[in-house]
Structure 1
């Protein structure tokens, strides 16, 4: 629907009988985590650095709430109001957009400022120009472990699509539950026993 690659999705994956918020911490990357920790989380799911970068390319669509990056655009340090990793005009635009985020926590910015509703490789091109939104985005563009993949995907959309599709397929079968260890839910947001 938004122009991304096609890839096969296996049907019938079972969901757990347990769903607790406390199990999320340490299993999902947060935008303020150090890149080494993010790499470690993906590695624990048997995903390489390259596969991680490809999957993070999903930031080409969607948005993030201002509270997730406000510490990088307001009162950054004693010499700069914003993180110098940001393109100056972009930082100023974000500062205007998020001016009232403390009063309205729903305020958000697109992850991809140039083509926010299109799945393409513009996210990676943006990173090269200081147009990354999140702290983790800027880290991808500068860290020597990830920068080569950012540059490769920025230059070659077909390669990004190919690697994204492969990584999505691989991750979709990670830690699959079998037998009576889970259920195929009738509704994604409820256990079958209480689904209506």
Structure 2
């Protein structure tokens, strides 16, 4: 059993999504004590955003700049970690109605034709099925579905990769006062307990 733990929040110890993702990992380790856990902190060590150099390299060009070579290798490593994992836990706070740019940069390195998806005559086909995704979602407010470009995007992109087993542990309204924050975190902890059942 391999578990990949991805965190993206920039707020460090104050982060609700980091707190929840850590508690999800703790719960999974109790259930799978011999699981191998790989941690990727995209706030502490971000993967660069895609550029024309990345696209040219994907088309067969040989990059010359050492920075680009290293960044392409980092992206390949991220893809390999993702493909090898049985369970992926993603700490995903909502920033300005969407996911953090660090998380989007990581996802861009996963969206590789022939690795996580392919196009067929019948349309796109996901190639990364068979794994479980657990998203630790945090939001400062409470948002209508029309304003959600965070969880809806994550469900869509992981679904595009062929993953159907996607769970979301959500704490929302955490910026609406101490009482609302405690209540939201406690509700999320209940959802974590439910995952372990």
TM-score, length-scaled by structure 1? 0.23
Tell me which structure has the larger Cα radius of gyration. 1
The structure whose residues are more often strand, as a share, is: 2
TM-score normalised by structure 2 residue count: 0.23
